[in-house]
Structure 1
Amino acid sequence: MAYKTALSGEERRLSIITAARPLFAEKGFHATSIREIAKAANVSEALIYKHFPSKEAIYDELLDYAREMLRVGLTGMEGMEYGTRTLVLLVFGLVEVIMLDVPGRIPDQKMHERLLFQSLTGDTVFARGHFKMLRDNWENTVIACFRAAEEAGDVAESPIPPTNLMWFVHHLAMALNLCHLSGEAAFDYEVSREELAEQAVLFCLKGIGMTDEAIGEYYRPGELRETLDRVYE
């Protein structure tokens, strides 16, 4: 007779998070109950509370994908000088990671995107947590790169704060990605997704005020993609 092996505490936590993720993605935070999560995870509500003090704690765990992507990205950029080259890489990386599939992370990436867009049209809890995490971790780097690029004459001074300029980049990439979220393009730009991402980066670089000379010198998609691949390998 075969006996089931009891899950470790960490394995049980992961199974609960895995069961909760599609529920939150479909119904949002407020419409999903602990009872539904327990049923999906095939455990009791009491066991849920043994591992998580609240529904909010489970929801917060779902931000782990974004935290990990951000941690990997920032760690991979350690040692790079603040300036135009790094600013171009930031814009390129932001657009590419949002618009294109990241090798080895596609299932989590797709679920995270669905959670984010569902939250934006619902309770906004997950979305606000996602954006706050980004703001807390990238603001200083973004500001330093913009200031250095301005001093070098590569970016025009703007009345718009550097952080808002980068948020415009982020939100444009999100909107373009939304058109492809189902797996089938809702709008046909008549180019591949890779080409569309490259065009979006070029649009964003011009939009943040970067000069044509600086774009010509630093915006080399092939080299930037190789750098990005090394960061996330």
Structure 2
Amino acid sequence: MKRRRISGIERKSLILDEARRIFSKHGFEAARTQDIARAAQVSEALVYRHFPTKQALYRAVLRRTIRDQNANHEMVGLRNITPRGLITNLRTYFQIVVGGGPEHVTEGFRLLLASVAGDASFASLIYRRANRMMNERVHQALVQAHACGDIVGKVLDARNTSMFTEHIGTMMNTLAKMTSQPSPYSGDKAQLVNDAVWFCSRGLGFTEEAIARYLADADGEGDPAQTLRDDAYPTRKAG
């Protein structure tokens, strides 16, 4: 069968796909442009034609990851500023964390963790943007939950609420991807998601009755993480 000739734009996108995968796996310093070229089925010279330096390629990968952050917040963010929205979106988030989303989302988690272990400039940018996009909505939902009795005790700071949740999710995603060692967690993915939601919700001060009620409501709505599954983001291959 004759192979379809792909356009320059498609080839550049393919290079970025493979670069993100390799940067997320090995980090900036250890990643090699020849490995990226091989994975993308192009020459290393072509990689440098699109991206003059390894640093330029890495920055392009990070810019794409930031665009993904916008889309992900729209899909799993607090579109409804309600106490129920806090818990149901926690569940969607942790479903994605443990493997309910496409590979590029997992790679985003790894890039973030690699940045934290390095100079942290990319991680700092991601966290600042997330705070601007989410914190006011999180604050309003926490205040409403307290006012209606779903949260008892102190209302936590919205920024810390978002950051603590992200820290848990990033580490869970990293550990869930371990293949050479047994998982340190107990139970299957469904139990892990459930336990993470209960852990975070209790930490926010939600009553057990409220958590159980909102999760039961969400059970009747299907799987909201479906919009981020692999079939919504088909892998692009040169052909």
Residue 96 of structure 1 corresponds to which residue in structure 2?
95
Residue 212 of structure 1: CA displacement? 2.6
Residue 237 of structure 2 corresponds to which residue in structure 1?
none
Residue 235 of structure 2 corresponds to which residue in structure 1?
none
Residue 231 of structure 1: CA displacement? 5.6
Q: Does 1:127 align with 2:123?
A: yes
Letter in 1 for 2:210: A
The whole-number CA distance in structure 1 between the counterparts of 2:23 and 2:76 is 26
Residue 42 of structure 1 corresponds to which residue in structure 2?
43
The whole-number CA distance in structure 2 between the counterparts of 1:43 and 1:59 is 20
Residue 204 of structure 1: CA displacement? 1.1
The whole-number CA distance in structure 1 between the counterparts of 2:178 and 2:167 is 18
Structure 1 residues 164-179: aligned runs within 5 Å = 164-179=160-175
> CA RMSD for the aligned pairs?
3.4
Residue 4 of structure 1: CA displacement? 7.7
The whole-number CA distance in structure 2 between the counterparts of 1:194 and 1:70 is 22
Identity, in percent, stands at: 20
Structure 1 residues 2-81: aligned runs within 5 Å = 5=5, 7-29=6-28, 41-44=42-45, 47-49=49-51, 54-55=56-57, 56-74=59-77, 78=79, 80=80
Residue 116 of structure 1: CA displacement? 2.9
Alpha-carbon spacing, 1:181–1:124, altered in 2? closer, same or farther (3 Å): farther
Residue 236 of structure 2 corresponds to which residue in structure 1?
none
Residue 226 of structure 1: CA displacement? 1.6
Alpha-carbon spacing, 1:87–1:59, altered in 2? closer, same or farther (3 Å): closer
Structure 1 residues 213-232: aligned runs within 5 Å = 213-220=209-216, 223=219, 226=222, 228-229=224-225, 232=228
Letter in 1 for 2:184: F
Residue 202 of structure 1: CA displacement? 0.9
Q: Which ranges in structure 2 are unaligned for 5 or more consecutive residues?
A: 233-239
The whole-number CA distance in structure 1 between the counterparts of 2:25 and 2:145 is 42
Aligned to 1:114, what secondary structure does the other structure show?
Answer: helix
Alpha-carbon spacing, 1:17–1:202, altered in 2? closer, same or farther (3 Å): same
Alpha-carbon spacing, 1:199–1:221, altered in 2? closer, same or farther (3 Å): farther
Q: Which ranges in structure 1 are unaligned for 5 or more consecutive residues?
A: none
Which deviates more, 24-33 or 141-150? Answer: 24-33
The whole-number CA distance in structure 2 between the counterparts of 1:221 and 1:199 is 17
CA deviations 1:99-149 (Å, max 9, x no partner) are 2322xx2x3233333333333323334433433332232222211111111
Q: Give TM-score, length-normalised by structure 1.
A: 0.76
Residue 43 of structure 1: CA displacement? 4.6
Residue 154 of structure 1: CA displacement? 1.4
